Amino acid sequence: MNVTSKLLSVFKVDKQFRGLRSRLSAAEKFLAEQNRQIEQINAKKSSLEAQQRQLAAAAANFEGEVKRLDARMATIREQMNSAQTNKEYKAFLTEVNTIKAERDRQETSALEQMGKVEEVKRQIDELEKSRAERERMQAVAVSDRDQRAAEIKDKLADLQNQRDTLARDIPKDTLVLFERLVQTRGDEAMAHIEEADRRRHEYHCGSCMMALPIEAVNGLLVSGKLTRCASCQCILYIDEELAKSMKEPAGKR
């Protein structure tokens, strides 16, 4: 078996391996998306909880100020009862009215902050519902991922053993070149040669459809030497049926 045939065998095993892995990769991608969304929900919830604490603290401060002003007004009213003159009474009354106006502002601010606290709490509750639903989807995704991994585990191991056995007979530098092509081109790392017109010696790359020199085609047909498309750089091979046909005597063909 020549080097191109050996590479083609590895290439076919790799395609099966990638095909099986693609099903698992899809399940892993879906699970990763659920995890990402849960992390986003948790981060947003933490931010809202911090905001809720700040709003609650501000509301508590306003409420504390309201209580302080209530105590101050109570004290002044007691003093009003013991006022000696009308002037003194009016002074106390003016101060009470001033404090009362400030108390109303503080109370309004406290109510506003508490309203914001309730709104943030509502948002947190919604996030908790979203997280519960996302965690349910996450559990489904984990189950699906594990099931797919179990289904293909033995087959993947078998394919890996096949590949390791086939790869042992390929020169290291050639194998490195092939694996780099697979990383960049995937299933187009290798391409078959297509015959357009045998009499005119017209052949082209099955990947990029660029014309190939007959010398390259003959070299691959005769010795199976490593041949790459000058245009797309994929490794070329000749299908068994075409190779058999090309090797037949002209009269028999």
DSSP string for residues in 182-194: HHHHGGGSEEEEE
Q: CA 22 to CA 240: how far, in whole Å? A: 28
Considering the domain boundaries, does residue 127 fall inside one? yes
Domain region containing 197: 173-247
33 and 138 housed in the same domain: yes
97's tokens? 């009215």
- 33 lies in the same domain as 131: yes
- What is the model's pLDDT at position 250? 53
Same domain, 144 and 177: no
Please check whether residues 145 and 31 belong to one and the same domain: yes
Q: Is residue 19 part of a domain?
A: yes
Q: What is the structure's pLDDT at 253?
A: 46
The arrangement of strands across the sheet holding 202-205 comes to: 211-212, 202-205, 190-197, 235-237
Say how far apart CA 104 and CA 119 lie, in whole Å: 23
In a shared domain, residues 235 and 114: no
Same domain, 74 and 14: yes
Q: How many whole angstroms separate alpha carbon 214 and alpha carbon 202?
A: 7
74 and 156 belong to one structural domain: yes
CA dist 116 and 110 (Å) reads: 10
In this structure, the answer to whether residues 126 and 221 fall within a common structural domain is no
pLDDT, tens digit (0-9, with 9 covering 90-100), for 91-136: 999 999 999 999 999 999 999 999 999 999 999 999 999 999 999 9
* Positions in the chain whose pLDDT score sits under 50: 251-253
CA dihedral 207, 241, 178, 223 (to 10 degrees): -120
Last residue in a domain, options 139, 167, 195: 167
pLDDT, position 165: 93
pLDDT of residue 207: 93
Q: Which of 60, 66, 63, 64 is nearest to 100 (CA)?
A: 66
Instruction: Single out the residue in 138, 167, 196 at which a domain terminates.
Output: 167
Report yes or no on 253 lying in a domain.
Answer: no
- Token representation of residue 119: 């709104």
The whole-model pTM stands at 0.63
- One domain, residues 45 and 156: yes
Distances (CA, A) of 82 to 71, 77, 85, 118: 17, 9, 9, 44
DSSP state of 234: P
Q: What is the pLDDT of residue 126?
A: 96
Looking at the domain assignment, is residue 252 inside a domain? no
Residues 111 and 177 in one domain: no
pLDDT value at residue 251: 47
How far is Cα 116 from Cα 121, in angstroms, rounded to an integer? 8
Which distant-in-sequence residues (6+ apart) come within 8 Å of 179 by Cβ?
none
- Which pLDDT belongs to residue 173? 93
Cα radius of gyration rounded to whole Å, the chain: 40
CB 233 within 8 A of CB 181: yes
State the total domains in the chain.
2
Scan for tokens 């041949």, then name that residue: 227
CATH code of 125's domain: 1.10.287.1490
Question: Where is the domain boundary, 132, 167, 202?
Answer: 167
Specify whether 69 is located in the same domain as 126: yes
Q: How many helices (H) and strands (E) does the chain have?
A: 5, 4
Note the pLDDT of residue 71.
95
